[in-house]
Amino acid sequence: MKKELAIFSFNDLLHHFPYRHIDKTKITKIIDLNPAIEYAQLQGKLLYYETTGERNSKRVIAYLKDDTGTMELTWFKGLSWIEKTLKKDEVYTAFGKISFFMGKPQIVHPELELIKQEINGGKNFLEPVYPATEKLKARALGGRQISKLTEALFTILTPKDLPENLPSSFITKLKLLPRFEAYTQIHFPASTAMYEQALRRLKFEELFITQLRLAMIRSERHRKSKGVVFQKVGAFFNNFYNNHLPFQLTGAQKRVLKEIRTDTASGHQMNRLLQGDVGSGKTIVALLAILLAVDNGYQACLMAPTEILAQQHFTSISELLKDLAIGLHLITGSTPASERKYILQSLAEGNLSIIIGTHALIEEVVQFKNLGFVVIDEQHRFGVAQRATLWNKAKTPPHILVMTATPIPRTLAMTAYGDLDYSIMDEMPPGRQPITTVHRYDTRRAQVMDFIRTEIDAGRQVYIIFPLIEESAKLDYEHLMGGYENVKAFFPEPKYWISMVHGRQPSEQKNTNMQRFVKGDTQIMVSTTVIEVGVNVPNASVMVIESAEKFGLSQLHQLRGRVGRGSDKSYCILITGSKFGTEARERIKIMTSTNNGFEIAEKDLELRGPGEIEGTKQSGALNFKLSDIVKDKAILNAAKNYAEEIIVNDPELESADNLQLKQYLMSLQGKTPWSKIS
């Protein structure tokens, strides 16, 4: 027990990095002090000290003398303790912020250290300053104590305790500090330059090891996993492709389809992330791949994050497949029990080829006869654990295609989803007109409503979105209802009809309201962000977002993606109050200047940082101690390239050069979140 605790503290300490350093390497002479010097370290004899002043102005003043002059050290607090500890005629170093009082230099509350004799020099390293954490505070360790302990730790550590883990060829090629040296220098650097070197080495190691493990998971899957084989392109696929495809596929769609075709014929499990901007046409790619599975005698499922979206996929896919004799069903939380029973039985017996649904699909009771292909749409809402549940629904794990809701920046994707293979659809279907996005203050809402009226009168439909502020469901609801009444005043029945959808409605009512809008029975959809993802109403040409300053970038982009899906010119109108912060202003500026989801994703990452991007919070893959995937992009890219090079050439890390790497990875086993994923 004690030992365990010691090891725990040892690692804790070692990886508890200082957040800054104080330079006490130099001793300044008193005569050289001037107002341009902020902090300084002095050394000299304590001539004498005195307590002066009354009550609030009571203080201790000590006089420190070196061979060039004398200066004052002053204390206002802890006076009785100071009076007891100060020793006249002893030699001290004093460090602190220099101030000038009546033209004379002084330090208030200096750090004081009694030294045996004058040593004509300061410390030979920069002194670390550590953050105190709650965990360490609970062990009675503040910043100062941590510093002392770390210093003690390094007096007993030897290079054997922190053996090199990177191949020596890297160390030479990249001019990296050896590992032990890097740890020493990050805590107790000889100079700022050495600190930078140490930081570079340890950041590289941190990112490289992560990338290496991800590359290994991918490589293992490619070489060792068993996957069902989709041998042929059969009748369903060919019939649909040749006779029922409503449009020509884009080059990007064809390319991704080929990638899926190759993967699913390889005999190994496919695990692929499909990134495409909103409206790039991911659904049809998924559907064609599903037909490929069915052609080969396997069942397929498509999982959507919301009931509305599952419903819509079901409706549109049913329509597309209506001339093909394929069993297709929808299962959601609101499927009636009797129907549910029938569906589950058909799935288990293998009479049903395609099932579309929500989370309901991952429940234990859902069993397949021979599940071969899984599509997870709009991945932002599914965690890693949920992905894993689906693999266990077949003896041989099914092929998995994960589709993103909006693009994720490359650096983020390769860390958070680095275990997956990666496809990108960077081409929009032809004939789309770019969406015009404008910003309007809420004082001009009447003009916005006038504009909406002209669009509706021309036969188009309109979304008006209200934010979820989350602190209070009740307030959100009132806000939405107020907005609804307001819209209704502008657009009275029976000339105009409005659908309203929000989270408090029973799902049946939600669906009915949604369907009325989809069918064109209502011209306006007033909603909270429940319609955010995936919904497809090509006739809708205006997206109005109320309190747009309250939305995040990817959410705004996702919402905007609900329009511009047909061939009509479409508009996105961002309405805000007059007062909002600079970050919100930046978001609005980005939205009005680009339609490119990949660009927006990069900006989003820069603005919010990796920890805040939806869908990656729970991944645990971004908890780096030193690195920041935005600021350290260059190191991350290098780390990824080197990791891949190694795994391509030596997938099992068997060569002599990679031996220490392998040993290191083995020593980590069971200690990091990665082992859970792999």
Which one of residues 150, 185, 280, 511 is an interface residue with ligand ADP (CB under 6 A)?
Answer: 280
- How many residues sit in the footprint of ligand ADP (CB under 6 A)? 17
- Give the one entry of ligand ADP, Mg ion, none that residue 225 binds, where binding means its C-beta sits below a cut-off of 5 to 8 angstroms depending on kind: none
Q: Per-residue x/- mask for ligand ADP, residues 512 to 541, rule CB under 6 A?
A: ------------------------x-x---
- Does position 534 bind Mg ion by CB under 5 A? yes
Binding piece for ligand ADP, criterion CB under 6 A, among 160-168, 282-290, 578-586, 607-615? 282-290
284/542 with CB nearer Mg ion: 284
* Calpha distance 346→368 (Å, rounded): 9
167/534 with CB nearer Mg ion: 534
Contacts (Cβ under 8 Å, ≥6 apart) of 231: 265, 296
- Does position 561 bind Mg ion by CB under 5 A? no
Q: Per-residue x/- mask for ligand ADP, residues 485 to 504, rule CB under 6 A?
A: --------------------
* Calpha distance 289→283 (Å, rounded): 10
**Binding to ligand ADP, residues 559-588 (CB under 6 A):** 565
* Calpha distance 539→560 (Å, rounded): 14
3-class DSSP state of 510: helix
The residue assigned the tokens 């329009």 is 563
- Does position 315 bind ligand ADP by CB under 6 A? no
- How many residues sit in the footprint of Mg ion (CB under 5 A)? 1
- Give the one entry of Mg ion, ligand ADP, none that residue 18 binds, where binding means its C-beta sits below a cut-off of 5 to 8 angstroms depending on kind: none
309/343 with CB nearer ligand ADP: 309
3-state SS string for 252-265: HHHHHHHHHHHHHC
- Does position 429 bind ligand ADP by CB under 6 A? yes
* Calpha distance 110→75 (Å, rounded): 8
| The two three-digit tokens of residue 661, written as one number | 């790497």
- Give the one entry of ligand ADP, Mg ion, none that residue 279 binds, where binding means its C-beta sits below a cut-off of 5 to 8 angstroms depending on kind: ligand ADP
* Calpha distance 515→533 (Å, rounded): 16
We find the least distance from the C-beta atom of residue 537 to Mg ion, in angstroms, to be 13
- Does position 370 bind ligand ADP by CB under 6 A? no
- Report whether 592 contacts 573 (CB < 8 A): no
Strand ranges across the sheet with 328-331: 328-331, 354-357, 299-303, 371-376, 399-403, 271-276, 421-425
**What letter would DSSP give residue 521?**
S
- Give the one entry of Mg ion, ligand ADP, none that residue 467 binds, where binding means its C-beta sits below a cut-off of 5 to 8 angstroms depending on kind: none
Which one of residues 281, 357, 398, 597 is an interface residue with ligand ADP (CB under 6 A)?
Answer: 281
Q: Which amino acid is at 57?
A: S
- Report whether 292 contacts 261 (CB < 8 A): yes
- Does position 317 bind ligand ADP by CB under 6 A? no
3-class DSSP state of 35: coil
**What letter would DSSP give residue 362?**
G
We find the least distance from the C-beta atom of residue 309 to Mg ion, in angstroms, to be 8
- Give the one entry of ligand ADP, Mg ion, none that residue 100 binds, where binding means its C-beta sits below a cut-off of 5 to 8 angstroms depending on kind: none
* Calpha distance 281→302 (Å, rounded): 15
We find the least distance from the C-beta atom of residue 662 to Mg ion, in angstroms, to be 42
207/317 with CB nearer ligand ADP: 317
* Calpha distance 109→60 (Å, rounded): 10
Which one of residues 28, 185, 197, 250 is an interface residue with ligand ADP (CB under 6 A)?
Answer: 250
* Calpha distance 649→655 (Å, rounded): 10
The residue assigned the tokens 């499927």 is 335
Query: Mutual orientation of helices 633-649 and 192-224 as an angle, nearest 10°?
Result: 40
Q: Point out the residue whose Cβ comes nearest to ligand ADP.
A: 281
- Give the one entry of ligand ADP, Mg ion, none that residue 528 binds, where binding means its C-beta sits below a cut-off of 5 to 8 angstroms depending on kind: none
Query: Mutual orientation of helices 597-608 and 553-560 as an angle, nearest 10°?
Result: 160
Which one of residues 184, 185, 264, 283 is an interface residue with ligand ADP (CB under 6 A)?
Answer: 283
Buried-state track 558-573, b at ≥16 Cβ within 10 A, e below 16: bbbbbbbbbebebbbb
- Does position 279 bind Mg ion by CB under 5 A? no
We find the least distance from the C-beta atom of residue 543 to ligand ADP, in angstroms, to be 14
The residue assigned the tokens 């109050």 is 577
- Does position 249 bind ligand ADP by CB under 6 A? yes
- Report whether 517 contacts 499 (CB < 8 A): yes
- Positive or negative CA dihedral for 591, 596, 598, 602? negative
30/535 with CB nearer ligand ADP: 535
> Could you please report the per-residue DSSP string of 109-122?
S-EEEEESS--SS-
| The two three-digit tokens of residue 199, written as one number | 């930081």
- Does position 320 bind ligand ADP by CB under 6 A? no
- Does position 136 bind ligand ADP by CB under 6 A? no
Which one of residues 105, 189, 227, 279 is an interface residue with ligand ADP (CB under 6 A)?
Answer: 279
- Give the one entry of ligand ADP, Mg ion, none that residue 536 binds, where binding means its C-beta sits below a cut-off of 5 to 8 angstroms depending on kind: ligand ADP
We find the least distance from the C-beta atom of residue 617 to Mg ion, in angstroms, to be 22
248/592 with CB nearer ligand ADP: 248
Which one of residues 203, 282, 399, 479 is an interface residue with ligand ADP (CB under 6 A)?
Answer: 282
68/539 with CB nearer ligand ADP: 539
We find the least distance from the C-beta atom of residue 283 to Mg ion, in angstroms, to be 5
Comparing C-alpha atoms, which of 281, 282, 283, 298 is closest to residue 236?
298
We find the least distance from the C-beta atom of residue 535 to ligand ADP, in angstroms, to be 9
* Calpha distance 569→75 (Å, rounded): 72
The residue assigned the tokens 């339609």 is 595
**What letter would DSSP give residue 186?**
H
- Report whether 76 contacts 109 (CB < 8 A): yes
- Does position 418 bind ligand ADP by CB under 6 A? no
**Binding to ligand ADP, residues 284-303 (CB under 6 A):** 284
- Report whether 275 contacts 424 (CB < 8 A): yes
- Give the one entry of ligand ADP, Mg ion, none that residue 284 binds, where binding means its C-beta sits below a cut-off of 5 to 8 angstroms depending on kind: ligand ADP
Contacts (Cβ under 8 Å, ≥6 apart) of 199: 186, 626
Comparing C-alpha atoms, which of 314, 338, 334, 335 is closest to residue 326?
314
Binding piece for Mg ion, criterion CB under 5 A, among 96-104, 147-155, 501-509, 530-538? 530-538
Binding piece for ligand ADP, criterion CB under 6 A, among 66-74, 241-249, 290-298, 583-591? 241-249
404/513 with CB nearer Mg ion: 404
52/433 with CB nearer ligand ADP: 433
Query: For binding to Mg ion (CB under 5 A), which residues are involved?
Result: 534
Query: For binding to ligand ADP (CB under 6 A), which residues are involved?
Result: 247-250, 253, 276, 278-284, 429, 536, 538, 565
